[in-house]
């Protein structure tokens, strides 16, 4: 994610902008095996997930997508952000 988007995501989070968009996305993240409950919720950059089966892998595989490492409370507020596994 580019710097401008990171700053915007944190600003949106603090100002409470796009709250309902963020909450809908966070509900999906909370059920995802890549969700890491650190620093308020992170997309685990050390794992890959298969969005069809929710199986994870510690290495790159066909049909699996790598976690982005983003802080999800901020990233989910951005209109133009997307889940690396295409879940939202
Ligand atoms: S952004 Fe996507 S891959 Fe990452 S925790 Fe959320 S749903 Fe899972």
Question: Distance between CA atoms of 25 and 85, rounded to whole angstroms?
Answer: 13
What residue ranges do the domains of the chain occupy?
3-75
pTM comes to 0.92
Mean pLDDT per block of 10 residues along the chain (88 residues) reads: 88 90 97 94 98 98 98 96 98
Q: What is the pLDDT of residue 40?
A: 84
- Torsion, Cα of 39, 64, 54, 47 (10° steps): -30
Helices (H), strands (E): how many in the chain?
A: 3, 5
User: What pLDDT sits at residue 74?
Assistant: 95
pLDDT at 14: 85
Question: What pLDDT score does 73 carry?
Answer: 95
Give the pocket of ligand 1 (CB within 6 Å): 28-29, 32, 34-35, 43, 49, 67, 72, 83-85, 87
């Amino acid at each position: 994610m580019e710097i401008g988007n990171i700053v915007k995501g944190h600003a949106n989070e603090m100002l409470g902008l796009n709250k309902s968009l963020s909450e809908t996305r966070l509900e999906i993240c909370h059920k995802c095996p890549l969700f890491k409950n650190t620093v308020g919720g992170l997309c685990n950059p050390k794992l890959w997930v298969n969005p069809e089966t929710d199986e994870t892998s510690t290495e790159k595989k066909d049909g699996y997508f790598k976690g982005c490492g983003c802080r999800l409370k901020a990233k989910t507020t951005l209109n133009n952000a997307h889940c690396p596994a295409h879940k939202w």
